[in-house]
Structures are given as structure tokens and as C-alpha cells.
């Protein structure tokens, strides 16, 4: 089956921003997939992307695209306030969706989108939570599941970097619906906690926070049925990038950092038995050199194509990660209601 896709909303291809904007990618690595249309109110960006990706149709916005171009799949990578609306519109029109995070800007919006997804079990709506597909996440899950450090007693997830100015000058990151560090990074952090422990997120207790840095404790069920309070921290104010997951049990500790400075494809899992020496296992990407090989992106892009072709449920289908999106939104909403902290 040929898959036609479209990509509304993007940074200029070939620009340093596009190069670093990990969501910005066409489907060229997937045999049979063809990008046929782009939509963006910024006409210059739309034209450039159409030229770069060989897209035939250029539209001024997502509404025009969905109205006027027949596509099988649409990638919604607009600012967050448009995510749920375009995703619902696409599903209603019988079009599969690859949806950028956060996917919605309120719990109410998320619920409407989940209802639209449930009404179309024949379609897929995959959320681009790329870190969930990182091989070190699966490697760490296996270490814990094998009991190498005993039952996990503590899990800590820290995702921080230098802020969105590194790839996008757009104002929506700093104010408006879907803005702030929690909207940007909480879904990533919660999705890896869920994947490593194997069960859903059941509750979130919100700690201190600002638009730049925030902490929370997420109650996550493990594959074995226990519940664990996971410390989660997200930040935009760090001197460099770090996405660290650390598990501790009576038998030792296990950790990984999904962002290795200076390396794009490699991570490792380090296991330190109690009283013993650390040993490391590399966790590398399966297909170096593949056209969809960018570490942080390939998972969801591959998964959505596979889901369209085979009907199988992607690991980050919106129904599978509804708990992640919901608790990220609870976190953002609780922080919005909290009194401002100064100094």
C-alpha cells in the first residue's frame, strides 16, 4: 500500500533550526510512503519544505490541507493549541494521524480527542513520544525485569536542556496554551518512566515549579503489579542536555542517559550491583544509516507507518499513552494554578 502523508507545521528545511528540530522529518525512509502536501501559514516555509520534500501541494493551513488534499496520513506538528483540533478533524475525515506532543492543551481537549480515536478503531493516532522508542529504555526495562537490582525501590527521571530557543524562536513555547517546560517535556519523561516500569501512570503529585523547571512525583504501576513513586524533573535552564533514568533497588542500581553529549546514536545502561563494580551494556540503534535514523525521531515515524500498513497498535498510540498525556496535563494545570514562586 502506498502511504501518502502530509506535514503541517515545520521549521524551514535545511536551516539549523530544522536540522535540530527532531520532529521535522519526512517519511522518505519508509518504502511506499510519499509526502504529497505541506501546510503552513508561513508561505516561505511551506514553499521551501515542498521543494525539499517534493510535495506537490502547498496549503496555507491544516484546515485547507484536510479539506482539499486526499491523504492517508497527516502529521500534526503545529503549535500545541491546534493539535487536538487537527487530529480530531483528520480522524473524522478517515485520515491516520501522527500527532506531536503534548497532543492537547487541557484534559477536556484530550478527552474529546480520545473519544474521536475510539470512534475510529480502523485508524491510528500515534503520538510522537520518540524517547519511548530509545533502545536504552528497552535495555533498562530488561535489566529491571530480570531482577538484576532486585525489586525497584526508587526511580528518578531527569530531562533537561538549554531551552527551546536552541531550535525555535517561536513565542508559543513561552506563553499561551501548551507553553512552558512541563507541556514541552513532561510527556517525554513520563513516557519513559512508564515504559521502563511496564505499567500505567496512576497519579501525579506536583512539586515546586516554574515555566523553566518543575518537579513532580508520579505513581506508576510496575509490570509485576506493585506501585512505585517516581521522581520526575524537567528543566529548560540547564547548561547542556541530559535525559537520565536511574533505578535503585536493594541489589544495586541501574542508570542510563539518553542524551550522550557529542554522540547521536549511542547510549549505554550501567548496572552497579550493591558492593560491586559497575558494568555497562551499549544500547545502540538498529539501523545506522537508514533514512529514518535520527535517534529521537525514528520510533514514532516508523511506528505510525507500520500501524497504517498492518493495523497493529503502536506503542505510543494515543490510547496506549493516554495516561501519560493526561498526567502531564494534570501537572501543567496544577502548576498554572499554583502561586508564583520568586527568588
Q: No. of H helices and E strands in the chain?
A: 9, 14
Q: In angstroms, what is the minimal distance from the CB of 241 to ligand NAD?
A: 12
Spatial separation of the C-alpha atoms in residues 302 and 159, rounded to whole Å: 24
Decide if residue 23 touches ligand NAD (CB under 6 A): yes
The residue within the footprint of ligand NAD, chosen from 3, 4, 5, 21 (CB under 6 A), is 21
Among 16-24, 224-232, 258-266, 319-327, which window interacts with ligand NAD (CB under 6 A)? 16-24
The residue within the footprint of ligand NAD, chosen from 19, 52, 61, 212 (CB under 6 A), is 61
Spatial separation of the C-alpha atoms in residues 249 and 254, rounded to whole Å: 9
Number of residues that bind ligand NAD (CB under 6 A): 28
Decide: 22 and 130 in contact? Cβ < 8 Å: yes
Spatial separation of the C-alpha atoms in residues 102 and 125, rounded to whole Å: 13
Decide if residue 299 touches ligand NAD (CB under 6 A): no
Return the number of the residue (9 or 252) whose C-beta is nearest ligand NAD. Answer: 9
Q: Cell triple for residue 119?
A: 470512534
Decide if residue 9 touches ligand NAD (CB under 6 A): yes
Among 19-27, 137-145, 236-244, 325-333, which window interacts with ligand NAD (CB under 6 A)? 19-27
Per-residue burial over 6-24, b = 16 or more CB atoms within 10 Å of its CB, e = otherwise: bbbbbbbbeeebbeebebb
Decide if residue 47 touches ligand NAD (CB under 6 A): no
Decide if residue 38 touches ligand NAD (CB under 6 A): no
Fill in the per-residue mask, 111 to 150: x = in contact with ligand NAD (CB under 6 A), - = not in contact.
-----------------x-x--------------------
Return the number of the residue (114 or 259) whose C-beta is nearest ligand NAD. Answer: 259
Question: Which residue has 502530509 as its cell numbers?
Answer: 6
Q: In angstroms, what is the minimal distance from the CB of 134 to ligand NAD?
A: 11
Residue 341 gets which letter from DSSP? -
Q: Going by C-beta distance under 8 Å and a sequence separation of 6 or more, which residues neighbour residue 254?
A: 140, 143, 144, 148, 149, 246, 247, 269, 270, 271, 272
Query: In this chain, which residue has its C-beta nearest to ligand NAD?
Result: 9
Return the number of the residue (39 or 73) whose C-beta is nearest ligand NAD. Answer: 39
Identify residues 83-112 at the interface with ligand NAD (CB under 6 A): 100-101
Return the number of the residue (34 or 294) whose C-beta is nearest ligand NAD. Answer: 294
Q: Give 151-154's long-range contacts (Cβ < 8 A, gap of 24+).
A: 151/224, 151/226, 151/249, 151/250, 152/197, 152/222, 152/228, 152/247, 152/248, 152/249, 153/228, 153/248, 153/249, 153/250, 154/228, 154/231, 154/247, 154/248, 154/249
Please report, as ranges, the residues that interact with ligand NAD according to CB under 6 A. 8-11, 21-23, 39-42, 45, 61-62, 77-80, 82, 100-101, 128, 130, 167-168, 170, 184, 296
Amino acid at each position: 500500500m502506498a502511504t501518502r502523508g502530509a506535514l503541517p507545521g515545520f521549521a524551514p528545511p535545511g536551516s539549523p533550526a530544522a536540522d535540530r528540530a527532531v520532529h521535522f522529518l519526512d517519511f522518505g525512509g519508509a518504502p511506499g510512503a510519499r509526502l504529497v502536501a505541506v501546510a503552513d501559514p508561513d508561505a516561505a516555509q511551506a514553499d521551501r519544505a515542498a521543494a525539499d520534500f517534493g510535495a506537490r501541494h502547498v496549503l496555507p493551513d491544516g484546515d485547507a490541507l484536510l479539506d482539499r488534499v486526499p491523504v492517508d496520513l497527516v502529521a500534526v506538528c503545529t503549535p500545541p493549541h491546534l493539535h487536538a483540533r487537527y487530529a480530531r478533524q483528520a480522524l473524522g475525515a478517515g485520515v491516520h494521524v501522527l500527532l506531536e506532543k503534548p497532543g492537547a492543551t487541557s484534559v477536556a481537549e484530550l478527552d474529546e480527542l480520545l473519544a474521536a480515536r475510539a470512534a475510529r478503531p480502523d485508524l491510528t493516532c500515534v503520538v510522537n513520544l520518540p524517547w519511548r522508542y530509545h533502545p536504552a529504555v528497552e535495555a533498562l526495562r530488561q535489566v529491571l525485569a530480570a531482577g538484576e537490582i532486585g525489586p525497584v525501590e526508587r526511580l528518578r527521571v531527569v530531562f533537561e536542556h538549554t531551552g527551546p530557543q536552541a531550535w525555535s524562536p517561536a513565542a508559543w513555547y513561552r506563553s499561551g496554551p501548551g507553553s512552558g517546560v512541563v507541556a514541552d517535556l513532561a510527556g517525554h519523561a513520563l513516557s519513559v518512566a512508564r515504559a521502563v516500569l511496564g505499567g500505567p501512570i496512576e497519579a501525579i503529585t506536583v512539586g515546586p515549579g516554574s515555566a523553566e523547571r518543575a518537579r513532580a512525583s508520579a505513581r506508576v504501576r510496575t509490570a509485576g503489579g506493585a506501585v512505585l513513586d517516581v521522581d520526575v524533573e524537567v528543566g529548560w535552564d540547564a547548561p547542556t542536555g541530559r535525559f537520565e533514568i536511574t533505578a535503585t533497588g536493594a541489589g544495586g542500581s541501574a542508570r542510563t542517559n539518553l542524551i550522550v553529549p557529542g554522540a547521536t546514536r549511542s547510549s549505554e545502561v550501567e548496572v552497579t550491583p550493591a558492593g560491586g563494580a559497575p558494568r555497562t551494556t551499549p544500547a545502540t540503534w538498529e539501523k545506522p544509516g537508514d533514512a529514518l535514523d535520527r535517534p529521537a525521531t525514528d520510533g514514532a515515524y516508523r511506528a505510525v507507518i507500520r500501524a497504517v500498513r498492518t493495523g497493529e497498535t503502536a506503542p505510543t498510540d494515543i490510547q496506549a499513552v493516554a495516561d501519560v498525556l493526561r498526567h502531564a496535563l494534570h501537572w501543567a494545570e496544577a502548576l498554572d494554578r499554583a502561586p508564583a514562586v520568586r527568588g
